[in-house]
Amino acid sequence: MFWNVNETADHGLPRNPWKACVVPRPIGWITTISEDGEVNLAPYSYFNACGENPPMVMFSGGPRPEGPKKDTVANCEVQGEFVCNMSTWALRDAMNQSSAALPAGEDETRFAGLETEPSTLVKPPRIKAAPIHIECVYHQTVVMPHNVNEEGNRVVFGRVVGIHIKDEVLTDGFVDMAKVQPIARLGYMDYARVDTVFRMDRPTMKAAE
């Protein structure tokens, strides 16, 4: 099949295949604080690391059907800080729960039964049970087009200022994916659990490097 996306919204398949065509996507499970000081938590799978020196991350918040920005985006833009918590197999139900569209100012961590702990350099707290936390400072928003809503898709970039890794997921100083068991978003309502890792050295590298 071929779908000419600019010509028609009709892809001819039972469900829109787009989200199944760029996979697996990591899930940025993001804590922020609202203007009123309320904690907010939500998962974003249009999320990735996008730079190294300094480390940077990005996530994209679509508009809500009724218009305004999503709370995570608004909080990052106003308060200037956020934390990306690692979303894992053990935390999958809580991650899913935290995507509920609660009214602004209602704390999804409580709704999902999650404990938080203070971050080191930023105000938004960390999800205690997550094995990795990435503390970020807001860098910039790039507004991308949205076919239906003038608000657009807001791509938020953040500069990483601190990284917590629980000692229990390290093996000989390496982050051990068999211990972390991250989950990733596939298309539709499907997810993957990372439990198989293989290694490939690059052609220019010596085996010992």
Is position 44 an interface residue for ligand FMN (rule: CB under 6 A)?
yes
Contact window for ligand FMN (CB under 6 A) among 35-43, 48-56, 171-179, 195-203: 35-43
Q: Which two tokens stand for residue 103?
A: 């009214």
One residue of 33, 34, 39, 45 binding ligand FMN per CB under 6 A = 45
Among residues 116, 92, 141, 93, which one has the least CA distance to residue 41?
116
**141-168: burial string, b at 16+ Cβ within 10 Å, e else:** beeeeeeeeebbbbbbbbebbeebeeee
Angle CA(106)–CA(111)–CA(116) in degrees, nearest 5?
Answer: 90
Smallest separation, CB 13 to ligand FMN (Å): 21
Site for ligand FMN, residues 59 to 78, rule: CB under 6 A: 60-62, 70-72
With respect to ligand FMN, which residue has the nearer C-beta, 87 or 119?
A: 87
One residue of 55, 99, 151, 155 binding ligand FMN per CB under 6 A = 99
Site for ligand FMN, residues 9 to 28, rule: CB under 6 A: 27
Site string for ligand FMN, 114-153 (x = CB under 6 A): ----------------------------------------
Contact window for ligand FMN (CB under 6 A) among 11-19, 58-66, 170-178, 194-202: 58-66
Residue 123 CA to residue 82 CA, distance in Å, equals 8
Map residue 2 onto helix, strand or coil.
Answer: coil
Residue 135 CA to residue 163 CA, distance in Å, equals 6
Angle CA(144)–CA(24)–CA(15) in degrees, nearest 5?
Answer: 70
Nearby residues of 53 by Cβ (< 8 Å), 6 or more positions away: none
With respect to ligand FMN, which residue has the nearer C-beta, 80 or 176?
A: 80
One residue of 20, 24, 80, 96 binding ligand FMN per CB under 6 A = 96
Contacts to ligand FMN by CB under 6 A: 27, 40, 42-46, 60-62, 70-72, 96, 99, 101, 185
